[in-house]
Amino acid sequence: MALNTKSLKLKPVGVLDIGSNSIRLVVYQSRSRALMPVFNERVICGIGRGLQKTGRLDPKGVKRALKCLPRFAALTKAMDIKDLNIFATAATREAQDGRKFIFEVEKLFKKSVKQLDAQQETRLGANGIICGMPDADGITGDLGGGSLELARVDKGVFKSGVSLPLGHLRLLSDLGSRKVPLKSRIDSIIEEARWLSDMSGLRFFYAFGGAWRAIARLHIAQSGYPLSVVHNYSMKADVALDFCQVIGGLSQASLPFDESISSQRAESLPVAALIMHRLIRELSPHEVVFSALGVREGVLFDRLKKSEKASDPLIIACHDIAIRESRFMPGSNKLFNWVAPLFIDEGTQMNRLRLSVCLLADIGWHEHPDYRAEQVFFRILRLPLIAVTHEEKATLALAVYRRYGGNMESSSLSVVNKLLDVTHIDWSTRLGNALRLAETLSGGQLDLLDGSSLRASNRRVHLEVDRSISSLVSDVVRKRLSQLAAQMNKSHQLSIK
């Protein structure tokens, strides 16, 4: 069989987000249920600075915006992005001259700009959370420069929401960095928000928006967490409360920045922390979960068909990667079924993880043999996969690492040792060993697995091979079978019939 040179027919889609504090262009490979960003650039313009006092957009911010937007227009043209979605949020919604600024953007891009009202912004932000966490259940919070959107999502369904005038840029423009007036303003707005009164005690608060993501990155760096990935990073509510109290009390100069945090975020971090601290006190969630997805992804998610929204973005993303990068046409179903007898009691979540591993099982073939295991391990850990927790991503990475024969004593596995318990490590190792056996037996030509079967009893792992393909059995096959059985604390048997 020839190498798999089939490529996906991808039509890139772009989103230009005109916010009160920043303007961001994101380009995705396609308008898919599993959005994969290929370009992401932000310029902090601050068009909403001083809006409450003047009623107009900040002239310097507008000048910065109109200076950066031609670059974005040129890039989208060069990338041949026919599907470009442009929307604006709180600043242009409230400013007297907001419509004038939007008209300038429309002239530049030769496309209409969608001015989101408060309810649309709230719903689309919640959609972004649902896009990345399909079973989201709790309160979502999108902190922007001009406003804070809060929404109730119930098992992946948007229920209701509210927009509050608590944007970090708005507060700083009105009150500066003085902590007492800031806390007083935040308290009064939260206390007047009647919508919040029935939302206390839900398990999850989903936080997004650039300033809150910066808080997550700062906590990751300060706590020594082993995986520097914001999406699905979670903190117990009491930990988040304490951390926000510390950050909220610091001055811009005393913030403990590292390279993962833009200096442009320095001014807004303390006030963003004060807002989160007050919300945690009000909502009393069990956990705070951070999301890399938000309104931009919510806009694209909103356009999907109902059947597309219901599909699993993890499986879709892994399938797309397999199509592009496997040597041969992906045979994930054959692998999935062939190893199934070793995983009789696994639940639904582990079942989808096993299918994901089977899809990714051949993506490291082009790496140098001495480094394949380590390369695919770190690549999977760092892929922008959604609908998967950090623990689940580590489980995937470990299984594919072992499929390529990675050493279980390697220092590279420090992430795994910190994130996974013994049960998940055992599951990943067993799956990886079984896939390694399948690859050795078939040479990657997975149709050959049809003449063999793998099963396990209480004491033994048994590989049965049809006599018609007995020539495939080698000493290496026997060795792989022995390794699999030993990892499962069983004996092994190979029979040819």
Residue 307 falls inside a structural domain: no
Q: Which residues pair with 25 in a beta bridge?
A: 16, 41
Residue 106 falls inside a structural domain: yes
- Which CATH number goes with the domain that contains 61? 3.30.420.40
Instruction: Indicate whether 153 and 84 sit together in one domain.
Output: no
H/E segment holding residue 140: strand 138-143
Structural domain tally of the chain? 3
Whether residue 144 is predicted with pLDDT greater than 70 in this model: the reply is yes
Residue 317 identity (one-letter amino acid)? A
- Residue 77 sits in which domain range? 13-115
Radius of gyration, CA atoms only, the chain: 26
Instruction: Indicate whether 364 and 485 sit together in one domain.
Output: yes
Whether residue 3 is predicted with pLDDT greater than 70 in this model: the reply is no
pLDDT recorded at residue 332: 79
Q: Convert the pLDDT of each residue in 179-232 to its tens digit.
A: 999 999 999 999 999 999 889 999 999 999 999 999 999 999 999 999 999 999
Q: What number is the average pLDDT over the span 477-493?
A: 96
**For the chain, how long is the longest CA-to-CA vector?**
85
- Which CATH number goes with the domain that contains 144? 3.30.420.150
pLDDT recorded at residue 5: 39
Burial of 461 (0-12, 13-18, 19+ CB in 10 A): buried
- Which CATH number goes with the domain that contains 412? 1.10.3210.10
- Rounded to the nearest angstrom, the gap between the alpha carbon of residue 165 and the centroid of all alpha carbons in its chain is 28
Whether residue 393 is predicted with pLDDT greater than 90 in this model: the reply is yes
Total number of residues shown for the chain = 497
Instruction: Indicate whether 108 and 247 sit together in one domain.
Output: no
Q: Convert the pLDDT of each residue in 221-251 to its tens digit.
A: 999 999 999 999 999 999 999 999 999 998 7
pLDDT recorded at residue 262: 67
Taking the CA of residue 311 as centre, how many other CA atoms within 13 Å lie in the half-sphere pointing to its CB? Answer: 17
User: Which of these three, 297, 332, 350, is where a domain ends?
Assistant: 297
Instruction: Indicate whether 150 and 195 sit together in one domain.
Output: yes
Burial of 357 (0-12, 13-18, 19+ CB in 10 A): buried
Instruction: Indicate whether 111 and 139 sit together in one domain.
Output: no
Instruction: Indicate whether 338 and 464 sit together in one domain.
Output: yes
pLDDT recorded at residue 259: 64
Least confident of 2-6, 295-299, 478-482: 2-6
Instruction: Indicate whether 247 and 261 sit together in one domain.
Output: yes
At residue 269 the predicted structure's pLDDT band, cuts being 50, 70 and 90, is very high
pLDDT recorded at residue 124: 98
User: Which of these three, 82, 115, 148, is where a domain ends?
Assistant: 115
pLDDT recorded at residue 263: 67
Residue 35 falls inside a structural domain: yes
Q: What is the phi/psi pair of residue 29, to 5°?
A: -55, -40
Residue 441 identity (one-letter amino acid)? L
Q: Convert the pLDDT of each residue in 444-462 to its tens digit.
A: 899 999 999 999 999 999 9
Instruction: Indicate whether 411 and 278 sit together in one domain.
Output: no
Q: Convert the pLDDT of each residue in 408-430 to its tens digit.
A: 999 889 999 999 999 999 999 99
Residue 70 falls inside a structural domain: yes
Residues with Cβ within 8 Å of residue 469, at least 6 apart in sequence:
448, 451, 452
pLDDT recorded at residue 2: 38
Q: Convert the pLDDT of each residue in 60-104 to its tens digit.
A: 999 999 999 999 999 999 999 999 999 999 999 999 999 999 999
The 3-state DSSP class for residue 41 equals: strand
pLDDT recorded at residue 251: 77
pLDDT recorded at residue 258: 62
User: Which of these three, 115, 133, 163, is where a domain ends?
Assistant: 115
Instruction: Indicate whether 477 and 407 sit together in one domain.
Output: yes
Using CA atoms, how far residue 54 sits from 51, 172, 271, in Å, is 5, 14, 22
Angstrom distance (rounded) from CA 58 to CA 61:
5
Instruction: Indicate whether 320 and 351 sit together in one domain.
Output: yes
Q: What number is the average pLDDT over the span 156-160?
A: 97
Residue 304 falls inside a structural domain: no
pLDDT recorded at residue 260: 61
Instruction: Indicate whether 290 and 187 sit together in one domain.
Output: yes
Q: What number is the average pLDDT over the span 465-486?
A: 96
Residue 8 falls inside a structural domain: no
In DSSP notation, 61-82 reads HHHHHHHHHHHHHHHHHHTT-S
Instruction: Indicate whether 351 and 334 sit together in one domain.
Output: yes
